[in-house]
Amino acid sequence: MTPRVGYQGEPGAYSEAAVLEHFGGDVQPLPRASFDAVFDAVEREECEAGLIAIENSLAGSIHRNYDLLLRHNLWVVGEHYLPVHHCLIGLPGAALEGIRKVISHPQALAQCEGYLGRLGGVEVEPVYDTAGSVKMVREQGDSRLAAVASRRAAELYGMAVLAERIEDNPDNITRFLVIACQPNPGAVGIGGDKTTIVFTLDNQPGALFKALSVFALRNIDLTKIESRPLVGSPWEYLFYIDFAGSTEDPTTRRALSHLEEYATMLRVLGSYPRHR
């Protein structure tokens, strides 16, 4: 049976493109209305894996998904980088000059902020999905309304591309994580893997410095650090760290066991092959 992979959005969403690129087309992408619904679908085994956006090189982290990683008992088993090129999409026959309102996912709107500002007198309104916004333009049938989404979404819904590559910065890349019920079975070898962890620390001077020492003293390269509020303890934080190495490597295992000496909570979310 073709494996099913859950993603957030409608057919034509960037997440769907990431699913198809990552798994080489030999999967059945399973659309879900929200990130929560993707986590739920994986947990209930309605699909073999899920793919969730975790960070964009311009707009930053998708915090909702950091929070959901903690709330669910799933494993990170892969990552995927997708270059993002946005189009302004309207009804067939609509003119760029006539556009008065632009709808899309808030991240997509943020990534085209400069372009949309230069259009002049155009109202922007966040909706839940990029491809979904194209569907809404078609349903509303208003030639003053446009969506920000992929060329593929325009084609899928029979709509017109009014402008292309409207993202403010050409270095617009979204990083996705692949989530599953079971951990990735093995390391791909020294330097080939990444690990994602989450931990909390006592709120005292030097606590984060000590935590980072377990990596620095072993020359382990951190690729990302993200802090999220620890709910119930105002101004204390959860730290999410990505680093080079697999939990199969003895050095990584020693670093994590050293971190346990300082951390009040430590959870390994998964080791997985680095996307090249």
Among 23, 215, 262, 272, binds a second copy (CB under 8 A): 215
Q: Is 163 in the site for a second copy (CB under 8 A)?
A: no
Q: Is 169 in the site for a second copy (CB under 8 A)?
A: yes
Of 237-276, binders to a second copy (CB under 8 A) are: 237
Nearer to a second copy, 56 or 271 (CB): 56
Count residues binding a second copy (CB under 8 A): 38
- Piece in contact with a second copy (CB under 8 A), picked from 18-26, 70-78, 179-187, 198-206: 198-206
Nearer to a second copy, 169 or 182 (CB): 169
Active site residue 174: yes
Q: Is 234 in the site for a second copy (CB under 8 A)?
A: yes
Nearer to a second copy, 82 or 159 (CB): 82
Q: Is 120 in the site for a second copy (CB under 8 A)?
A: no
Q: Is 171 in the site for a second copy (CB under 8 A)?
A: yes
- Piece in contact with a second copy (CB under 8 A), picked from 70-78, 187-195, 213-221, 266-274: 213-221
Q: Per residue, what are the HEC states of the chain?
A: CCCEEEEECCCCCHHHHHHHHHCCCCCEEEEECCHHHHHHHHHCCCCCEEEEEEEECCCEECHHHHHHHHHCCCEEEEEEEEECCCEEEECCCCCHHHCCEEEECHHHHHHCHHHHHHHCCCEEEECCCHHHHHHHHHHHCCCCEEEEECHHHHHHCCCEEEEECCCCCCCCEEEEEEEECCCCCCCCCCCCEEEEEEEEECCCCCHHHHHHHHHHCCCCCEEEEEEEECCCCCCCEEEEEEEECCCCCHHHHHHHHHHHHHEEEEEEEEEEECCC
- Piece in contact with a second copy (CB under 8 A), picked from 13-21, 129-137, 228-236, 256-264: 228-236
Residues annotated as part of the active site: 174, 176
